[in-house]
Amino acid sequence: MASAIHIPVTVIRGRTAGPTAFVMAAVHGDEINGSDIVRRLIFDIDHEKLSGTLIAVPVVNIPGFLAQTRYLPYHRDLNRFFPGKKNGNNAERIAYCLFREIILKCDFGIDLHTAADGRLNLPHVRGDMGHPRVRNLARAFGATILINQRGTIGSLRREATEAGVPTILFEAGETRRFSHKVSVAGLKGVLNVLSEVGMWPAHEQERPPFQVIVRASEWIRAEKGGILDLNAKPGDLLYKGDRMGAILNPFGKTV
């Protein structure tokens, strides 16, 4: 037994000629905040002020979105199967269709994500900062933190960029939850990028006072078990030796 998967796509054509861009969300089905950003973009953008063509895909991973899970059936991560295969498995076929019918027809793109399940991410942009056009898009988005990462082999942003379509990834918030703050920041970021490339009026750009390009990152692992009580929150500036928090036992004593 099998059934077709229909992925909704909105195409907005501007009044004047210009670049073609894609904005996609929910490649991971439980990362729904990007879908709200795309929804706002579709309804808020004025095609009279737009130059070029905008292709908006609010939900890429339809099965995962409906089941509120990161994956496609058979536990396949769609963001590891680009550029896909015409006659491959379900993930490869979806990736192939998106890549051939949308991504390769664009001049650049934006992929919207949240943190993985059980995590909360400070808003940031990821991309190959060694690629001049990617770096320009990343800076234009307006996030304070820019992380220099090409992306995993098979990921949308890496494969699109290597195919000649510079793509950045915006990541903020958490799974299965809408955040008004994240949606507003994401929408502003997308419009900033459109403004940078001449698709949107330049006077409407918004930029942070400074930006930090992160060249490398690593996980900080606890060496003891217990309850983590953090003193710092996402975005706080810490220096070597600062106390980030403590690991407590169930009675409140430091482990």
Q: Write out the H or E segment, with its range, that includes residue 184.
A: helix 180-196
Give the burial string for 104-140 (b: 16+ CB within 10 Å, else e).
Answer: eebbbbbbbbbbeeeeebebbbbbbbebebbbbbbbb
CA–CA separation, 60 and 182 (whole Å):
19
* Cβ–Cβ under 8 Å, residues 150 and 7: no
pLDDT in tens, 45-104: 999 999 999 999 999 999 999 999 999 999 999 999 999 999 999 999 999 999 999 999
Q: What percent of the chain has pLDDT over 90?
A: 87
Q: With 70 as the cut, is the pLDDT of residue 204 above it?
A: no
- Structural domains in the chain, CATH included, are 10-214 (3.40.630.10), 219-255 (no CATH)
CA–CA separation, 189 and 203 (whole Å):
14
Q: Going along 62-163, which residue ranges are E strands?
A: 108-113, 121-127, 145-148
Mean pLDDT of the chain: 95
Position 194 scores a pLDDT of: 97
CA–CA separation, 201 and 181 (whole Å):
23
Q: With 70 as the cut, is the pLDDT of residue 1 above it?
A: no
Position 237 scores a pLDDT of: 87
Sign of CA dihedral 116, 117, 118, 122: positive
